[in-house]
Amino acid sequence: MSAEVIDGRAAARALKGGVAADVARLKADGAGIGLATVVVGEEYSSAAYERRLARLASELGVPHRRRALPASAAQGEVVELVDELNADPDVSGILVLRPLPAHVDEAAVFRAIDPRKDVEAVHPENAGLLALGVPRFVPSTAAAVFHLLDTWLDAAGEDRADFYHRSLIVVVGRSNNVGKPAISLGYERQTTVESVDEWADRTTGIGRHTRWADVLIVAAGKAGLIKAEHVGENAVVIDVGINPQRGDDGRVRMVGDVDYDSVAPRVRAITPVPGGVGPVTDVWLVRNTVLAARILSGMTSDEAVRSLADPSPALAAASFQEAS
Ligand code: NAD
């Protein structure tokens, strides 16, 4: 058996069309939009993420503003910058890139963001709404994971509700920004969700959980953590991990948390790294910025969501190819 490859780049392209139309409609309605990214210090992966977002925002017609502070910036300076962006009418979405330097209290910075501009849902109000199943913003990575799953199910001819109701989703990694939101989205779909963290890995091993998964979502940040013996034969594997790895030629390339070569031949479907969850995450962040602009212009969250293009129907079956 060889797995279907869930092509995140194709999914992102399809999603982008809807978001570009959403941005055009927003502007035609006279509403403003802008995305501000806040970087404190210099970090390889957040710098790369920010460059990608800047390119994408410009492609989709969303003004992007980069605000950077040195790694030595005091806690108060970071909060002051966030306050300034909260008050700026040209900014509808604020993204504070992680990691922040160790001396900066991440939770305090997140609490300072205006919840209506909090496009990654890191403010406790938005995290709480998500946990209650009534999200204002769905954090972009978890949203991307379930967008890929939903659209893959459609293309595979599976009934989404039936699949989720009878399935076990195992989420490896329990961070506030990826693992926990993914767990909440699983609950929202009335599926059975199991959460596995490094403590299971250190004690009983993660295989006793992951092997039973119908859907395995891996977000641990550990290259090659999931190997063939950790997966069941009919699993759908979504690899969130992005880990820089230096090859024999000295070049750095990105690899996932899943050992793709050993796992892909064994499972039903799998996302590659790169080209899986990442591209969809980026587009979803811009989509959330449109949502924020609609909310700031006076819409309720429900009205704002209804005003956007339906993200799901656009993905063609052609987005899925057989793994070689
Ligand atoms: P994090 O470090 O904040 O959290 C990692 C989680 O995994 C923690 O709960 C940790 O306890 C758990 N973990 C660590 N080692 C483990 C092990 N051996 N077994 C089981 N669980 C283990 O990281 P994060 O921000 O959640 O990101 C996770 C990965 O996803 C990283 O590689 C990151 O680069 C990547 N990421 C990708 C995207 C994307 O769009 N594709 C977006 C965000 C993060």
306: enclosing H helix or E strand: helix 301-307
Helix (H, G, I), strand (E, B) or coil at 180: helix
Ligand 1 pocket member 281 (CB < 6 A): yes
Q: Which residues lie across from 216 on neighbouring strands?
A: 170, 237
The tokens describing 60, both together, are 């989709």
Q: What is the pLDDT of residue 313?
A: 56
Question: How many A from CA of 76 to the centre of ligand 1?
Answer: 28
Q: What is the pLDDT of residue 43?
A: 79
Helix (H, G, I), strand (E, B) or coil at 170: strand
Q: What is the pLDDT of residue 32?
A: 93
Helix (H, G, I), strand (E, B) or coil at 133: coil
318 with 156: CB under 8 angstroms?
no
170 with 200: CB under 8 angstroms?
no
Ligand 1 pocket member 85 (CB < 6 A): no
Question: How many A from CA of 25 to the centre of ligand 1?
Answer: 36
pLDDT digits (tens, 9 = 90+) for 213-261: 999 999 999 999 999 999 999 999 999 999 999 989 999 899 999 999 9
Residue 323 has pLDDT above 70, yes or no: no
Share above pLDDT 70 across residues of the chain, in percent, rounded to a whole number: 96
Helix (H, G, I), strand (E, B) or coil at 89: coil
Mean pLDDT, rounded, for 124-131? 98
Question: How many A from CA of 18 to the centre of ligand 1?
Answer: 29
DSSP secondary structure of 12-48: HHHHHHHHHHHHHHHHHTT----EEEEEES--HHHHH
Which atom of ligand 1 is nearest to 281's Cα? 40
Q: Is the dihedral of CA 176, 229, 213, 204 positive or negative?
A: negative
User: Which residue has the CA at smallest separation from atom 5 of ligand 1?
Assistant: 220
Q: Which of 304, 244, 273, 289 is nearest to 56 (CA)?
A: 289
Q: pLDDT averaged over the chain? A: 94
Length of the chain: 324
Residue 66 has pLDDT above 90, yes or no: yes
Question: How many A from CA of 241 to the centre of ligand 1?
Answer: 6
Block residue for tokens 């999931």:
226
Ligand 1 pocket member 278 (CB < 6 A): yes
The tokens describing 274, both together, are 């790169």
Ligand 1 pocket member 106 (CB < 6 A): no
Question: How many A from CA of 142 to the centre of ligand 1?
Answer: 12
Ligand 1 pocket member 41 (CB < 6 A): no
The tokens describing 30, both together, are 């006279």
Ligand 1 pocket member 198 (CB < 6 A): yes
pTM for the structure as a whole: 0.95
User: Which residue has the CA at smallest separation from atom 10 of ligand 1?
Assistant: 173
Tell me the pLDDT band of 317, cut-offs 50, 70 and 90: very low
Q: What is the pLDDT of residue 76?
A: 97
256 with 223: CB under 8 angstroms?
yes
Q: Which of 219, 234, 287 is nearest to 23 (CA)?
A: 287
pLDDT digits (tens, 9 = 90+) for 97-106: 999 999 999 9
Question: How many A from CA of 38 to the centre of ligand 1?
Answer: 21
Ligand 1 pocket member 241 (CB < 6 A): yes
| 135 cis-preceded (ω within 30 degrees of 0) | no
Question: How many A from CA of 144 to the centre of ligand 1?
Answer: 15
pLDDT digits (tens, 9 = 90+) for 136-179: 999 999 999 999 999 999 999 999 999 999 999 999 999 999 99
The distance in angstroms from the start CA to the end CA of the chain is 10
